[in-house]
Amino acid sequence: MRKILVVNAGSSSIKTLLFDDALTPILSASVAEIGGKSRLRLGETEREVEAPDHEAAISLILQALADQGHPARSLTAAAHRVVHGGRKLVSPCRITPEVAAEIAACVPLAPLHNPHNLTAIRAVARLAPELPQFASFDTAFHATNPEEALRYALPGAEDAKGIRRYGFHGISYAGLVGRLPGISGAPLPGRLLAMHLGNGASLCAIREGRSVATTMGYSPLDGLTMGTRAGEIDGMAVLRLAEDHGIARAGTILNRESGLKALGGASDMHVLEAAEGEAARFAIRHFCYWAVRHAGSMIAAMGGLDAIAFTGGIGEHDAHVRAEIVKGLGWLGAKIDPAPNARGAARLHAEQSAIAIWKVLAYEEQTIAQDALARPDFPS
């Protein structure tokens, strides 16, 4: 049995999930609060540990897996989520020194993410040097967007620096495209509006299985209202924030103090749904309004709409938000069935709906494992 360890490294945590080659999860392991009061979670158990850095965290995870009968020598490969692949890394690949160098070259494009992804890759290489490593990129799915969708109307020198639209949540969207036919029992819709709604939120216009437009741009800040991110905002307003507060503080405001948190007092949609008061109601309306408004742009990019698919934490679990967004698209003939929507069924559209509406669970780790297994250079 081949075993793939999927690694998702963040700024202060590393999450892993071990799969067999049938893509069945075997065991999860993670370390949280790296550099602080670190905790190792293995399956359903948790204990305090010393993890001053990411390499120490990877070492703890590998030892914990070994203690459960999965030593590093028994693993076939490690597969990493990497946020930014830039212009060159546009499909899942085996990590070579050249690929690692390109991931490093993308650090200026994703300074909050790629350094931690790269640190985990290097830690695995040091601790298990014989273990092949693979990477899937959150930006890669959107590389099929036409150039006019990717290019900002900026001087060529700025575009050459990498200041252009990339889009994110690509691993989620790629998994959705792969799983939806199995859920619906029908071929993938030709014009699919995919909605990854969570603390980070985006929409993607998918035509014939390929991304043709998405709401996130140069960074994950653009587009929809999110948990703590402002979403779409005029560049001059950004400059005003930078002038008033300085660049670093302006970045904190835009990325960590805005969105639902700024409007309703909480970044968690579940908390807002349960809260009383107009501020929470307004935050939810704002979220749904901008999802509908941006959906119009995505539909135009596809030249129409055949189906909608919800995914992500909010998309999968919040029936009220799903209903409000579909209501806003009612002019297209989209109609949700209240009963299956309330119970969170996979099929959400009413019989008389002109648009199919689905819920697709986001199994991003499984998609990353599948990406690695599908590579011709994956060990047999």
The catalytic site residues sit at 138
**Measured in Å, how far apart are the chain's first and last C-alpha atoms?**
10
Quote the CA–CA distance of 92 and 95 in Å, as a whole number. Answer: 9
Provide the residue type at 54 as one letter: H
Question: What does DSSP assign to residue 347?
Answer: B
Which residues have C-beta within 8 Å of that of residue 264, sequence separation ≥ 6?
272, 275, 279, 280, 282, 283, 284
Provide the residue type at 206 as one letter: I
Work out the burial of residue 242: count CB atoms within 10 Å of its CB; fewer than 13 is exposed, 13-18 middle, 19 or more buried: middle
Instruction: Please give the sequence-ordered ranges of beta strands (E in DSSP) within 21-143, or none if there are none.
Output: 25-32, 39-42, 45-48, 77-82, 93-94, 133-137
DSSP string, 143-159: GGS-HHHH--SS-HHHH
What are the φ and ψ backbone dihedral angles of 218, each rounded to 5 degrees? -60, -35
